[in-house]
Structures are given as structure tokens and as C-alpha cells.
Amino acid sequence: MKLHVLAISLAALLFTACSGKETAKSIAQKWCDLNAKAYKADDGAAKDAAKYALKQYEDKIEAKYKDNETFMKEVEAEVEKCEDASEGR
């Protein structure tokens, strides 16, 4: 019985890992979520931490996709769709 549960859990974990491909839309959504946290955070440590997390994410994505200009333009277009909402506009 425990072996079956373990096998099913492992299969689910592998499926989740494989289906977690980043898309321009998923990257933009995460950026907008982080931007909203930075925008809405109170001044002080919380705001600094949120801004730092946003910058770290930007750096990670830019490093990962720096050679794919077309994809980065897709990300920028998706960010434009959610940026205003993330800042409460």
C-alpha cells in the first residue's frame, strides 16, 4: 500500500516539475505579483525586502533569457498588460 502511494506521489511530483515550463505570461505574472508586493509594502524593511525580491527576479530572468530577444519582448508585452494593475492604477 505504501509503495503505491509513494509511486503516485513521485509521478505527480515529476509531472509538476516537467509541466512547469516558463512562458512569457507566467514570467510577467510573477513579475507583476512581486511588483505589487513592492508597491503596496509599508516603508522600511518590508518595502526593501519586496524591492530586493523583485530585483533578484529581474536579474534571474534577464540572465536566463539574455540571448533570446524575441522572448524578452514577449515578456515585456505581457508585463505591460498587468503592470498598471500591480501598482493600483
Structural domain boundaries of the chain?
22-86
Q: Which has the higher per-residue pLDDT, 1 or 65?
A: 65
Mean local confidence (pLDDT), 1-12: 44
Categorize the per-residue pLDDT at 8 as very low, low, confident or very high, splitting at 50, 70 and 90.
low
81: pLDDT strictly greater than 60: yes
Task: Name the helix (H) or strand (E) containing 83.
Answer: helix 69-86
Q: ∠ at Cα 39 (80, 33), nearest 5°?
A: 55
